[in-house]
Amino acid sequence: MGTEFQSDATHMITYFQNHPINYVLMTVILAPIQEELVFRGIVLRLFINQKRIILGTLVTSSLFAALHQIQMLQQPITDRVINYFVTFVVSVLFCYIYNKYRRIGITIFAHALFNLLMILLAIGIPF
């Protein structure tokens, strides 16, 4: 099972190198739409409707960060902890944005922008 996850991460790097446009479309457009609809549009909104915004932010961000750990399973524990923490904090920011504006399109845009900036950093283009 561990080999599958490692090969998945390797597969994503190879996919980016061989199909950069598809990778960017997936990462900058499709993933933010899907993830924001689920995490902010459904999970967080359930808590907001019950007037439990802080708890909803913590639960949503924990789930969001946990989902993003799947690709990290073969990485050293320190990398996984850092990735979890950073992803959790970014999710808290997305929850704040959603709670402030109550418009899923704004969080989709913020998420897409964040992913684009991360891709640019990963390929060595400073901004």
Per-residue b or e along 34-54, where b marks 16 or more CB atoms closer than 10 Å to that residue's CB: ebbeebbbebbbebbeeeeee
**pLDDT tens-place string over residues 105-126:** 999 999 999 999 988 988 888 7
pTM listed for this prediction: 0.85
Q: What are phi and psi of 67, to 5 degrees?
A: -60, -40
Q: Which two tokens stand for residue 110?
A: 């913020």
Six token digits for residue 109: 């845009």
- Is a pLDDT exceeding 90 seen at residue 44? yes
Of 5, 38, 22, the C-alpha closest to 111 is 38
Say whether pLDDT at 92 is over 50: yes
Which whole-number Å values give the CA distances from 44 to 50, 96, 109, 114, in the listed order?
A: 10, 10, 17, 20
Report the length, in residues, of the chain.
127
Mean pLDDT for all residues in the chain: 89
